[in-house]
Structure 1
């Protein structure tokens, strides 16, 4: 079963733009908090993997759809769901209001495995990571 992780957050003042809504680029920060919460929940530590195996997992593709704005001090839930973890790590993201269930934002991201120091693209995600993520 593919891994999913929810994290509850609150909009801080410094994330707002001049229109008093969350600046569009901050949604990727929220996605990253959920992504690394998901990794931690299944026992995957990408920093430890880097130091032990000399492999990194850069983001190669992202997309986002803004539906409803988030405002100062508003609580929200960001969900990360793994959709692929064999040849790349692909995740879907959803930000919603916990009280109403309204979806505010949807997004996607993809990561690949790259071996250091020569920056060689690996054509598979290491099996221990793939299995931990449900694939």
Structure 2
């Protein structure tokens, strides 16, 4: 899969994205990002509809964009002494994405103090129609002791807090 954009859009994507009306999840989001994808042929079945399992790949890619924005991607997690396995994942299929559709996958950080909960919404850029809603929950596990942490590690809390402070100083137009 080749993402078109990661958090910034071309003028065509901006025009198409104007059709998208984000749901209540976006209002609750502490930090958000998105990824634009043109659905490749190898992700579809004989009816040219995206196979359901590929949505997991799409949300994983969007999560990586969000984690990069935080400055705490999977390599940083390991370097800080933690891994973050997924302990819960839920997807709701609303409509089908099809071959060559331009879709936008939003990732919204909604919880971070005791676990990392990220909500996702996938939209068809041409129509603004919601295609999928999902969420994942990850918990920190100390690499050495292999013990699950009941509170998010300070390094993660600091990254989120720094991003929240950074976002608060930006003008609303950005």
TM-score > 0.5, shorter chain as reference: yes
Q: Structure 1 residue 26 and structure 2 residue 54: aligned?
A: yes
2:37·2:103 contact (CA, 8 Å) conserved in 1?
yes
Secondary structure (helix, strand or coil) at the match of 1:120 reads coil
The equivalent of 2:19 in structure 1 is: none
The equivalent of 2:71 in structure 1 is: 43
Q: Structure 1 residue 125 and structure 2 residue 152: aligned?
A: yes
Gaps of 5+ in 2: 1-28, 165-174
CA distance in 2: counterparts of 1:95 and 1:84, whole angstroms: 20
- Tell me by how many angstroms 1:128 deviates: 2.9
Written as runs of structure 1 = structure 2, the 5 A alignment for 1:1-135 is: 2-50=30-78, 52-134=79-161
Task: Report the TM-score when normalising by structure 1.
Answer: 0.91
The root-mean-square deviation of aligned C-alpha atoms, in Å, is 1.6
CA distance in 2: counterparts of 1:82 and 1:45, whole angstroms: 14
Runs of 4+ in 1 over 4 A off after TM superposition: none
Where relative contact order (Cα < 8 A, 6+ residues apart) is larger, the structure is: 1
User: What are the superposed Cα offsets for residues 86-135 of structure 1, whole Å, 9 maximum, x if unpaired?
Assistant: 11000110000122211010001000000123311011111232243357
CA distance in 2: counterparts of 1:82 and 1:110, whole angstroms: 10
1:2·1:82 contact (CA, 8 Å) conserved in 2?
yes
Structure whose residues are more often strand by fraction: 1
1:82·1:133 contact (CA, 8 Å) conserved in 2?
no
Task: Report the TM-score when normalising by structure 2.
Answer: 0.72
